[in-house]
Amino acid sequence: MKMGEVLMRSTKALGEIASHYRDPLIRVFLRGTKDSDSTVRASSLSNLGELCQCLHFAIGSVIHEVTECLTAIVKTERESEVRRAAVHVITLLLRGLSEKTFQILDEVLQDLYRLLKYVNQTDEDEVVVLHAQIALEELDHIVRRFLFPEEKLQKKIVILP
């Protein structure tokens, strides 16, 4: 868990250069989700969410791996804290991409939406359901901003010759 914290601090310090180290970092955190200790799994998922939020549009090519991992964890994990972390990763991913969500998550957005609805309807842990509702609200805001862009009123002053 300490190693994950160190990796996240260094990733945040790298800023824009962090996208060059995307693949090894994602592999480390995805491997951490398979650990036998539930706190390590939850910590790895939390770090994965923070990394996805930092990477913005550079997450595109590995998004399938990330979403498959999240789907498997949400549907099969017994520990509620790990499921909470998995659903929170989706929220962080949506927040990190904001306007670019439809471009980056084009192929997996429908799967993520279905997963969030599944969690919202079937999970017994109230906190997991709350995290799913927050992610659904974030997705709702993104869709509303996309469908109904903010109108800007501008005055144009034209001087006739």
pLDDT tens, 23-37? 888 888 888 888 888
pLDDT for residue 130 is more than 90: yes
Confirm if 93 and 134 have CB atoms less than 8 A apart: no
Boundaries of every domain in the chain: 2-147
Run of H or E residues at 104: helix 101-104
Question: What is the C-alpha to C-alpha distance for residues 90 and 131, in angstroms, rounded to an integer?
Answer: 9
pLDDT of amino acid 57: 63
Confirm if 54 and 18 have CB atoms less than 8 A apart: yes
pLDDT of amino acid 134: 93
CA distances from 121 to 55, 88, 89, 140 (A): 31, 17, 19, 17
As a whole number, the mean pLDDT across the chain is: 85
pLDDT of amino acid 155: 85
Which of 1.25.10, 1.20.20, 3.40.50, 1.20.272 is the CATH number of 2-147? 1.25.10
pLDDT for residue 136 is more than 90: yes
